[in-house]
Amino acid sequence: MTTSVGIHDLSFATTEFVLPHTELAAHTGVDIGKYHIGIGQRSMSIPALDEDIVTMAATAAAPIVERWGADRIRTVVLATETSIDQSKAAGIYVHSLLNLPPSTRVVELKQACYAGTAGLQFAMGLVHRDPTQQVLVIATDVSRYDLDSAGESTQGAAAVAMLVSADPALIRIEPQSGLHTSDVMDFWRPNYRSTALVAGQESISAYLQALEGVWKDYTEQGGRPLPEFAAFCYHQPFTKMATKAHRHLFNTTGHDLDEDQMTAMLRLTTAYNEVLGNSYTASMYLALASLLDHAGDLTDQPIAFASYGSGCVAEFFGGTVVPGYLEHLRTDGHQAVVERRRSIDHHTYRTLHGRSLPEDGGHHLTPKQTTGPFRFAGLSGHKRLYEHS
């Protein structure tokens, strides 16, 4: 008998602060319609001085460990493109903050926004090999562009933690996957930069081209016909991108598209991303969280996933919603995570954006700002310090 493997639990976290796009527009002079309608964004999460990818990742994963225990978790995969060290995996700090067992392998994965999906697929393989084991996959990122650049309005931050398990409680992931890799320079961040470089319009074209590629391969791998899917979770660097992608996929494959139906279906997947902003690796899984939390009963419905990471690598795959999943959702908790953020003004945002860490190896404590459960306490002798708040 084939074991069914997939997402057993999903939980997300974001930052202490939020910058509304109305506040950004008041200072950039851009018509708010461009942000609210043109790119489909309303606000973006901004990390406090004592928050980073580790504190968000631990905050996202803690409720999962609390609910299911850590006994079966033998692997932690942390996907990020906001890495904090060239050698040590950020997941080791998370492993320590969550007090996970020492008999665990912990690694970090990178391929722009795609790495969360790589983590999920690698986890699937490990659980198929030994269905008694579970894998904690965490996608965590802070999206940063230069101040006053076109990308600035598409920043954001969040972490999604997923427990991958046999007999999953939420989504069974299907075996067929469409893959696509091509060498393009649409978005990248050299090691010496803290903000990404991007060719905005080219990045949109690269995303759409990759979508064509993954769909072609998915079909060749024996995947489902397009109309079978009840909903589509796209990578959402800004939520309007989901509309562009969906229209492109249907038009280029010769399928009719009911615009009203599309808008209603996609809106269910954009509720979190439109207020958190681009969270890179976490973005597509926030689309899934939004869908599960806001749609009616999706039991036994097939869901499509279209993952894209600049550079570029993309993947298309399907999953089926498991009977009983409604009992395991974290809708109230997710809503609270979004609503607890404190609004900041434009000046505070620019000050936080300009933050850089001292490089002298001294003892530097970080001011306490976060009200979350974990904090980045500072640097000492070039070592990062983390603590429970």
d(C-alpha 149, C-alpha 162), whole Å: 33
Of 5 and 275, CB closest to ligand HMG:
275
List 8, 23, 95, 113, catalytic entry: 113
Q: Which of 95, 235, 248, 334 is catalytic?
A: 235
Among 16, 23, 51, 81, which one carries the catalytic annotation?
A: 81
Q: How far apart are CA 155 and CA 313, in angstroms?
A: 21
Q: Which is nearer to ligand HMG, 41 or 366 (CB)?
A: 41
**Is 150 near ligand HMG (CB under 6 A)?**
yes
Nearer Cβ to ligand HMG, position 91 or 237? Answer: 237
Looking at the Cβ atoms of 11 and 155, the one nearer to ligand HMG is 155
Q: Are the beta carbons of 243 and 345 closer than 8 angstroms?
A: no
**Residue 66: active-site member:** no
Told to judge if 233 belongs to the known catalytic residues of this protein, a careful annotator would answer no
Radius of gyration from C-alpha coordinates of the chain: 20
List binders of ligand HMG among 192-211 (CB under 6 A): 198, 200-201, 203-204, 207
Nearest to 305 by CA among 209, 236, 381: 236
What mask of x and - would describe binding to ligand HMG in positions 304 to 333, judged by CB under 6 A? ----xxx-----------------------
Q: Count residues binding ligand HMG (CB under 6 A).
A: 30
Say which amino acid occupies 71.
D
Instruction: CB nearer to ligand HMG: give 41 or 370.
Output: 41
Binding ligand HMG (rule: CB under 6 A), the pick from 26, 37, 336, 365 is: 37
For the record, the structure tokens of 66 come out as: 């609390």
Q: Six-digit token pair at 368? A: 């306490």
Q: Is 285 in the site for ligand HMG (CB under 6 A)?
A: no
- The verdict on 156 binding ligand HMG (CB under 6 A) reads no
Instruction: Please tell me the distance from the alpha carbon of residue 6 to that of residue 174, in angstroms, as a whole number.
Output: 8
Query: Which one of residues 6, 119, 151, 156 is an interface residue with ligand HMG (CB under 6 A)?
Result: 151
Each residue 236-255 as x (binds ligand HMG by CB under 6 A) or -, in order, gives -xx--x--------------
26 counts as binding ligand HMG under rule CB under 6 A: no
255: annotated active-site residue: no
Question: Catalytic site residues?
Answer: 81, 113, 235
Residues in contact with ligand HMG by CB under 6 A are 31, 33-34, 37-39, 81, 112-113, 150-151, 153-154, 186-187, 198, 200-201, 203-204, 207, 235, 237-238, 241, 278, 280, 308-310
